[in-house]
Amino acid sequence: MRTAVITGMFDPFTRGHENLVRRSLDLFDQVVIVISRNAEKQGFLPDRVKLDSIWACFPDKRVQVVLLEGLLAEFVKQFENPVLVRGARNGTDFEYEAQLRAINMELGGIETVILPSSGSMAHISSTYARELIRYGRPLNGAVPTPAANVINRYLNEKD
């Protein structure tokens, strides 16, 4: 069994992320979506909202969603034949992902596959989606509908 591990902050989970997961489901037996934390960045959405919004998009039993505690290179060792799957929207993303690939290969011998974004999604980023949220704009087109529903519930309860 081959396991695709897709990691990111997913703050929030976008249509580009959803597309990457769906494409990975076509290529791998299972997909593990790993929500990472970045000590240098304050998260916009709480972890619970991130988890719930991603779960809402993937009721498929071949998809798991987890919060990362520790190093990714250590975490992926628990899976049989793990492969990191990363998306790249442009050349700058590709260069960054290639650097991460080298780090993960050095730390854990983990292979990485970098998939280019689907053309219609190259402009979608979590930063863009956060700006839509900040200014009260609809998330249509930037965030999958099930995820947007979870985020909107959270925002309404927060107010």
How would DSSP label each residue in 25-50? HHHSSEEEEEE---TTS--SS-HHHH
**Tokens, residue 20:** 């990457």
Residue of 15, 17, 50, 86 marked active site: 17
41 included as an active-site residue: yes
At 96-138, the pLDDT tens digits run 888 888 988 888 888 999 899 887 888 899 999 999 999 999 9
Residue of 22, 23, 62, 89 marked active site: 89
Asked whether 133 and 98 are in contact (CB, 8 A), the reply is no
At 83-104, the pLDDT tens digits run 999 988 888 888 988 888 898 8
17 included as an active-site residue: yes
125 included as an active-site residue: no
How large is the average pLDDT for residues 65-74?
A: 89
